[in-house]
Amino acid sequence: MTGSPPTTPPVADVGQQGPPPPPPTQARVVAQGVSKAFGSLVAVSDVSFSIGPGITALLGPNGAGKSTLLRILCGLSAPTTGRVLVAGGDPRTSADARRQIGLVPQQDGIFERDSVRSFVRLGAVLSNVDDPTGATDAALTAVELDGPIDRPLGAFSKGMRQRAKIAAALVHNPGVLFLDEPLNGLDPKQRRSMIDLFHTLGERGKTVVVSSHVLDEVERFGSNVLVIARGRLAAQGDFRAIRALMNDQPLRFRVRCGHTRRVAAALIAGELASGVTVAEDVIELTTENAPALRARLAHVCQHYDARLHECTPLDEDLESVFRYLVA
């Protein structure tokens, strides 16, 4: 065994008794100029970022390089150039760094002949947890796995196996969690429950990196994203803030009000909208000056004695931001 045993309590406190959250600026995962090439194919190209506590979603279209990047972040794959630090250490060479990592891999491979309990306990023993049995029970409770957990994993549904993988990732109370498509195979109730668990972990100061291609799910994880496109880092941060910075992509709004034609004409004349589509009580407009539109729309409506019912952005959601970034 390398290094010293973990000093944090075992998983009984998954997301409950952990150390107080570090300052938001404290980076737990750092990538510096990371590239990965497979022969002539460059899967990840000169990517640099840092990730602090809380949930960060790793986004990218299929083949963008996010799985490769996630594997590099965990230390499973060596970068061709650049370096990765997790909790201050290189996960490929530092046992202390690996002790801080919990991973839910995407692949289905699992020790099919092991029971759920012994699979999770294996992770506790190999991580040198002080009380492997207690930690195992706590991890199984955290993912709401009960019932016939002493049966072989091969006999279980995909959802049960997925929760066993999540429990194994949590069992040693890691500071950094990498979750690759963690909701695969789970039913809606289990998904909601796991999302709540990940939120709790993030709020307790864990760094949670979630890779998913289902944008609806990602949006439920939070707003902090790291977008990979064609092997490069396309954007990082709150996706709404990212959207606000996209000056080359006019924002679209739906405005429901009275006197739509007059109001629309005034918005164009006042350069608050660059294009409008007018229906009986709805204006759909594009604007390159959203703050001014938001500030003056009410005045414009008041001027024409038009009641304003609604002003809703149409492309500030994650899907729109993602589409613009990877287009």
Coil, strand or helix at 84: strand
The H-or-E segment that residue 269 falls in is helix 260-269
> Does residue 304 bind another protein (CB under 8 A)?
no
Coil, strand or helix at 309: strand
Selected from 37, 42, 126, 278, the binder of another protein by CB under 8 A is: 126
Binding segment (CB under 8 A) for another protein, from list 96-104, 138-146, 267-275, 307-315: 96-104
> Does residue 77 bind another protein (CB under 8 A)?
yes
Number of residues that bind another protein (CB under 8 A): 32
Amino acid identity at 185: G
Our CB check for another protein shows the closer of 65 and 222 to be 65
Cα→Cα distances 30→49, 83, 270, Å: 6, 8, 46
Of residues 297, 294, 74, 41, the one with CA closest to residue 180: 74
Each residue 42-71 as x (binds another protein by CB under 8 A) or -, in order, gives: -----------------------------x
> Does residue 37 bind another protein (CB under 8 A)?
no
Our CB check for another protein shows the closer of 127 and 162 to be 127
Beta strands in 106-194 (DSSP E): 176-180
Binding segment (CB under 8 A) for another protein, from list 51-59, 121-129, 222-230, 304-312: 121-129
> Does residue 204 bind another protein (CB under 8 A)?
no
Selected from 14, 167, 168, 251, the binder of another protein by CB under 8 A is: 168
Instruction: Decide the pairing of beta strands 176-180 and 207-211.
Output: parallel
> Does residue 209 bind another protein (CB under 8 A)?
no
> Does residue 76 bind another protein (CB under 8 A)?
yes
Q: Indicate the DSSP class of residue 112.
A: T
Residues 6+ positions from 59 with CB-CB distance below 8 Å? 66, 211, 212, 213, 215, 218, 225, 226, 227, 228, 322
Q: Which residues bind another protein (CB under 8 A)?
A: 1-3, 71, 74-78, 92-93, 95-96, 98-99, 101, 103, 105, 107, 109-111, 113-114, 119, 122-123, 125-128, 168
